[in-house]
Amino acid sequence: MEVIIHPTAEDVAARAADICCDALNKNPALVLGLATGSTPLALYAQLIRRHQAGQVSFRGVTSFNLDEYVGLPPSHPQSYRHYMHTHLFSQVDIDPARTHVPDGMLENPMDAGPAYEAAIRAAGGIDLQVLGIGANGHIGFNEPTSALHSRTRVKTLAEKTVTDNSRFFQPGEFQPRLAITMGIGTILEARRIVLLATGDGKAEAVANMVEGSVSAMCPASALQFHVKTTVICDRAAASRLRMRDYYQFVLAQQDALTARFGLR
């Protein structure tokens, strides 16, 4: 697991955008896994600016989002389909027909998981998966105690996740307690993973993910098994890492090699 620590959240977004744009320019037919929530917003803003500047195209991209609420139509302002349309898809040249978000409105939500897994397989698997991390260590909506080999399925949201997300819903408005999410096993099959974490509210989760034991109580800790995961965090989110100095030393050596030999 590569750990990159930058001073600010904006620096985190810029570094993640560098990785995404490099992957997109090397493979215009990239299969891209996408995340929602507050953390990726700065990344998506960076990608939009770079697209508008002619630095990157999404024309050949196929995308798969991590999750969607059960019971929210795509037009609902808090659905993740609406989020992606607003914050990325409508502002770049991606083909809407090649953007995938789990269907939270199926008559039987249990059918959504197998259908999503089949669509990912048909696309050839995910090349680059963007992740955030919840304060309780969840990735996607894989809450603590989720099986580390799990596949796309319906999950009941933890009380803390519901509370954290309640700020996005109006008082008295229906707020889903169920979501369809890629499983941890599904996420681990991505060829490369980039996880973004910002703010001191994520510090404990980041420390457990990177330096703690692999445990279902911190679902993100399963990323320790992945051969090519990059964790990019700001100083606040990295504040509880015991080996911060080492990670920064490693990054300096890697950047020096990149500058000298064009390696990464």
- What is the structure's pLDDT at 67? 97
Q: Which candidate in 51, 65, 136, 234 is catalytic?
A: 136
Over 60: is that where the pLDDT of 264 sits?
A: no
Active site annotation includes 51: no
The one catalytic residue among 51, 76, 100, 138: 138
pLDDT score, position 251: 84
The structure's pTM equals 0.94
Strand order in the sheet with 31-34: 2-6, 229-234, 192-197, 128-131, 31-34, 62-65, 99-100
Tell me the percentage of the chain whose pLDDT exceeds 70.
99
Domain boundaries, the chain: 2-261
Cβ atoms of 136 and 209 within 8 Å: the answer is no
Q: Are 218 and 212 in contact (CB under 8 A)?
A: yes
Active site residue 82: no
User: Cβ neighbours of residue 168 under 8 Å, at least 6 residues apart?
Assistant: 78
pLDDT mean over 52-56 = 98
- Region 132-137: what's the mean pLDDT? 96
Query: Catalytic one among 67, 68, 127, 234?
Result: 67
Confirm whether 142 is a catalytic residue: no
Please pick, among 65, 143, 165, 234, the residue that the annotation labels catalytic: 143
> What pLDDT band is residue 263 in, cutting at 50, 70 and 90?
low
Residue scoring higher pLDDT (168 or 179):
179
**pLDDT at 50 > cutoff 90:** yes
2-261 sits in which CATH class? alpha beta
Q: pLDDT grade, residue 207 (50/70/90)?
A: very high
Residues facing residue 142 across a β-bridge: 139
Q: How much is the mean pLDDT over the chain?
A: 95
